A and B are shown apart, each in its own frame.
Chain A
Amino acid sequence: MSNNLLVEVDSVSRYFGDLAAVNDVSFTVSKGTVLGFLGPNGAGKTTTMQMITGNLAPTSGRITIAGHDLLDEPRAAKACIGYLPEQPPLYLEYTVDEYLDFCAALNRIPKKQRLGARQQAKARCGLADVGKRLTGNLSKGYRQRVGIAQAIIHQPQVVILDEPTAGLDPIQIREIRTLVRELSQQHAVILSTHILPEVQSSCDHVQIIDRGKLVLNDSIDGLTQRMQSSTLSLRFKSSVDSSQIEQLDGVRSTRQLGDGHYQVYYQAGQDPTDALVKLAVDNHWGLRELMPEKASLEDMFLELTEHNKPQAEART
């Protein structure tokens, strides 16, 4: 167990009655990483985050934050966490400054350091101009920023953001991404989202959760490699005999998409492009187009979450 492991989630489950909202999920997050948490609605993202932040007790399993067990030393563990829930927990009758001061006090920042902490959090979240405004009068985007400021005001080691970019405009989304990047230099960040490009642009580790089960846990690099998937798109002058293609080394299957348009799936690492070209030339098929297809994260996401369904049902 190295010191860099900030969050350790060990086979955690959470049941609501008979429903397993989170089922035997384990993962770790180390310092300096941004973990993207993906999943369809109701997959258990928020439940997992609530458990990590101590808002919900897991039915079974253990959660350790920066070496502190969440059940045995809740106070020490919670001091290491900054949490932005789905809905920013704002007291609408407070101004931004008052609210942040209250949060600083809640997190036991000594009185003398509170002003500094507040200024820093405001500067990082672009709130410098709205300090005197009531949080109740702020727009959704600004409220979200106040929520993030609240989560980082005590410089926690772990920052957990539940859909931080929901409801923001594109410029704000970009700012928040930059902020997340910045945060990741000193903290570990876990963020949940259903916006896939966001994960690709701001995370270096991805987890996909579906029906309470972790179906993918990979680094962004590993994911990119996976996504350089093994598909070729081919277009010929007219329809051809695809059985000949299937006999080539490494080819798993072919699929006809239209007149003379095929998709060829092959085993990873056994690129049949050269053999295919030769075959096409030998048979005078009139090759017009040959393109490696890249699966998007979206395809991957769909594949993983849809594939999982029959399995999940079979198990229960």
Chain B
Amino acid sequence: MIFTLAWREIRSMFMSPLAWVILGVVQALMGWLFLNHVNNYMSVQSQLLGMQTPIGLTDIVVASVFGNAAIILLLVVPLITMRLVSEERRNRTLTLLYSAPLSMTEIILGKYLGILFFLLIVLLLVALMPLSLLAGGNLDFGTFGAGFIGLALLLASFAAVGLFMSTLTQNPTIAAVSTFGMLLLSWVLDTGGQGASDNVLAYFSLLNHYEPFLKGVFDSADAVFYILLIVTFLVLSTRRLDADRLGG
């Protein structure tokens, strides 16, 4: 049942131009940045060889590409998640789901799974770029794998936040703007001043937990942070749909 709903999300995304445009634009931007990073690497290659602990292709190109992807997708994910629930609410099609023998959890999970599938496509397309370096060099697959998993978790968290924002309103634009707000805030949380008290806030910064992955460190605490965040927002979304029925 969850898959039926997920499949509908995927279909309706690809039936509208939005999904294609997003895939195209993200790919074009990432391609440009990727080429830049490769170019950078080429220009500093000779100096790197002289260093005592040489940093390689993976450290420079892969980490930068995944780092850029996180920022670009932070701006793009709200556009994909905005219509998830809000549009159905506005078109009154949510009634169809409420009247069907489905639980609210199934509705939320179905929608979330559909978005995850789309983001997986984005992720694979992004990952293909560093992988193309294999044609002429070697990659550190440990670092690459950590970065890949990190980006996957980060995107999944973005999507969960976006889904929740979409359940709050019947206007997709409002959902998109508030998701932007949330995600950007979580990005800049760690930039405010120094001192012990700031560390608490910085801990909640989504991107802070992403950094270690880029360095090739898979810290389970960071992974758990993302998973908890995802679960929290999915539960909140379910609650919100329930409130539709109860509230008034």
Residues of A within 8 A of B (CB): 14-17, 53-57, 74-76, 78-79, 81, 83, 85, 87, 89-93, 102-103, 105-108, 150
Q: Are B12 and A54 in contact (CB under 8 A)?
A: no
A-B contact pairs, 21 of them (CB 8 A): A14-B248, A17-B248, A54-B99, A55-B245, A56-B245, A57-B246, A74-B103, A75-B102, A78-B100, A83-B99, A85-B95, A89-B93, A89-B95, A91-B12, A92-B91, A105-B1, A105-B4, A106-B4, A106-B102, A107-B100, A150-B96
A111, B235: Cα distance in complex, Å: 30
A85 and B92 within 8 A (CB): yes
Interface string of B232-248 (1 = CB under 8 A from A): 00000000000001101
Bound complex: CA of A75 vs CA of B104, how far in Å?
A: 11
How far is B92's CA from A150's CA once the two chains are assembled, in angstroms? Answer: 14
Q: Are A106 and B92 within 8 A (Cβ)?
A: no
A16:B8 contact, CB within 8 angstroms: no
Binary per-residue interface labels of chain B (1-23) against chain A in the complex, 1 for a CB within 8 Å, 0 otherwise: 10010001000100110000000
CB–CB A108/B1 < 8 A: yes
**B136 is an interface residue with CB less than 8 A from chain A:** no
Is the beta-carbon distance between A55 and B101 smaller than 8 angstroms? no
The yes or no answer to B131 lying at the interface (CB within 8 A) is no
State in angstroms the CA–CA spacing of A14 and B247 once bound together: 10
Chain B residues positioned under 8 Å from A107 (CB to CB): 100-101
Chain B residues engaging chain A, CB cutoff 8 angstroms: 1, 4, 8, 12, 15-16, 91-103, 245-246, 248
Name the CB-closest residue of B to A86: B92
Contact A90 B93 (CB under 8 A): yes
Please give, as numbers and ranges, the residues of chain A lying within 8 Å of B94 by CB-CB distance: 89
Could you tell me if A108 and B12 are in contact, using CB atoms closer than 8 angstroms? Answer: no
For the A-B complex, the count of residue pairs with Cβ-Cβ distances under 8 Å equals: 68
Say yes or no: A57-B96 contact (C-beta < 8 A), given A106-B102, A107-B101, A108-B101: no
One of B4, B15, B98, B245 near A102 (C-beta < 8 A): B4
In this complex, the member of A17, A54, A91, A103 whose beta carbon has the largest number of chain B beta carbons within 10 angstroms is A91
Chain A, Cβ-Cβ closest to B243: A57
Q: Beyond A83-B95, A106-B102: 8 further Cβ-contacts under 8 Å? A: A15-B248, A16-B248, A55-B99, A74-B101, A78-B99, A87-B92, A93-B15, A107-B100
Q: Which residue of A lies closest to B242 (CB)?
A: A57
Task: Say whether A54 contacts B245, CB under 8 Å.
Answer: yes
Chain B residues near A91: list those with CB within 8 A: 8, 12, 91, 93
B20 to chain A, nearest CB (A): 14
User: In the assembly, what is the distance between CA of A106 and CA of B99, in Å?
Assistant: 10
* CB neighbours of B16 from chain A (8 A): 93
B96's partner among A75, A81, A106, A108 (CB-CB below 8 A) is A106
Expressed in whole angstroms, the minimum distance between the Cβ of B245 and any Cβ of chain A is 5
Across the A-B interface, the 3 shortest Cβ-Cβ residue pairs: A89-B96, A106-B100, A89-B93
Q: Give Cα distance in the complex from A79 to B1, angstroms.
A: 14
A288 to B15, CA, bound (A): 74
Enumerate chain B residues within 8 angstroms of A14, measured Cβ to Cβ.
248
Nearest residue (CB) in B for A73 is: B101
Chain A nearest CB from B25 CB (Å) reads 22
Q: Chain A nearest CB: distance from B96 CB in Å?
A: 4
Nearest-CB residue, chain B, relative to A85: B95
* B8 cross-chain contacts in A, Cβ below 8 A: 91, 102
Residue ID in chain A nearest B93 by CB atoms = A89
Pairwise interchain contact A103-B245, C-beta atoms closer than 8 A: no
CA gap between A223 and B4 in the complex, in Å: 47
Q: Which residues of B contact A79 (CB under 8 A)?
A: 101
Q: Which residue of B lies closest to A106 (CB)?
A: B100
**In the complex the two chains form, what is the Cα distance from A92 to B91 in whole Å?**
9
